Amino acid sequence: STSFLHVPGASEEVAPPVQQCFMVPKKEINVVSDMAKWKRSQAYADYMGFILTLNEGVKGKKLTCEYKVSEPIEKLVALLNTLDRWIDETPPVDQPSRFGNKAFRTWYAKLDQEAEKLVSAVIPKHLADAAPEVAVYLKESVGNSTRIDYGTGHEAAFAAFLCCLCKIGVLRVDDQMAIVFKVFNRYLEVMRKLQKTYRMEPAGSQGVWGLDDFQFLPFIWGSSQLIDHPSLEPRHFVDEKVVNENHKDFMFLECILFITEMKTGPFAEHSNQLWNISAVPSWSKVNQGLIRMYKAECLEKFPVIQHFKFGSLLPIQPVTS
């Protein structure tokens, strides 16, 4: 089977012959029974295919290894750097409640206003019509401005944003490692800064029973990075020394480091699910288990998926291939 990222003819630097009809994505999952539509959709198949393609692409690779960095990748990093700079320009405000700083709404309003322009800077001129569609996923990926919360549904919107850029041929097969290590990793840094700066609430968090308050994908891809590692086993990630020495190479350990910075008390208490995972004998078992858990706990949960939007690139229509 060809990799999801391999768009036929994508290697030739030519404008696509058929002009696709782009559309502004909209909500389609309104009641619990609509979930069946989602699981059968082309969007679900493409989204999951994208996640799994990247999972294979980073297997056994360190964040610090050599990989190709294309111009669109550089432009995406620049986009994320802009979002980061806006955080510095929008300091939290004094307010009575500890959580959900209202300055986030000011920061978000700027993104809301500029998103299309930001996306247009990443995509070539002949695909300019795709900007309004793709920009929706970018706007959805940073948290909710009413509730000032962030969760795995927002993270999924960012993966969908990248998936759309692949579907229009802006990102290619040989961008796989850079998509995860450069773009997604930078996205995580910006999200952690948002979460800290504006004290964002975890959206739909299952508390101690969830994997993590905010993210899921870096645990999947991060566990794939560690498959067949000569010395690091799952039991080692609860060891502070191991984390401190290796976090710059592995996304999974970066996540653990962030949790321990944000939470106090014994790891087994504040992150029970991860504690249980540390008892799994191999990273490939961890990776497989996390993929199953991601489908069950995120992609098949109505409260998460009801917010997902569908357009021409990620259609609600049943799978065709």
Q: Each residue of 121-174: pLDDT tens digit? A: 999 999 999 999 999 999 999 999 999 999 999 999 999 999 999 999 999 999
* Helix or strand holding residue 310 (H, E): strand 309-310
Q: What region does 95 belong to: left with phi over 0, alpha with psi -120 to 50, or beta?
A: beta
Residue with more model confidence, 210 or 182:
182
Report yes or no on 141 lying in a domain: yes
At 320, the pLDDT band (50, 70, 90 cuts) reads: confident
Report yes or no on 16 lying in a domain: no
Report yes or no on 80 lying in a domain: yes
- How far apart CA 136 and CA 20 sit, in angstroms, is 17
**pTM of this structure:** 0.94
Can you say whether the dihedral through the CA atoms of 275, 276, 281, 284 is positive or negative? negative
- The residue behind tokens 């190479």 is 249
Report yes or no on 171 lying in a domain: yes
Q: Tell me what pLDDT residue 2 has.
A: 42
Give the model confidence (pLDDT) of 199-251 as tens digits.
Answer: 999 997 676 678 999 999 999 999 999 999 999 999 999 999 999 999 999 99
Q: What is the CATH number of the domain that holds 274?
A: 1.20.120.1150
pLDDT above 70 (res 1): no
Tokens, residue 255: 């996540």
pLDDT above 80 (res 31): yes
What value does the mean pLDDT of the chain take?
A: 93
Domain residue limits at 295: 24-312
Q: Which of 179, 77, 79 is nearest to 121 (CA)?
A: 79
- Average pLDDT (50-55) is 98
Report yes or no on 4 lying in a domain: no
Give the model confidence (pLDDT) of 59-114 as tens digits.
Answer: 999 999 999 999 999 999 999 999 999 999 999 999 999 999 999 999 999 999 99
pLDDT above 60 (res 24): yes
Q: How many domains does the chain have?
A: 1
User: Diameter of the chain by CA atoms?
Assistant: 59
Q: Which residues pair with 318 in a beta bridge?
A: 41
Report yes or no on 73 lying in a domain: yes
At 3, the pLDDT band (50, 70, 90 cuts) reads: low
Q: Tell me what pLDDT residue 132 has.
A: 98
Report yes or no on 295 lying in a domain: yes
Beta strands 309-310 and 26-27: pairing type? antiparallel
Q: Tell me what pLDDT residue 208 has.
A: 64
Listed in sequence order, the residues at least 6 apart from 296 whose beta carbon sits closer than 8 Å to its beta carbon are: none
Report yes or no on 302 lying in a domain: yes
Total Cβ atoms within 10 A of residue 242: 17
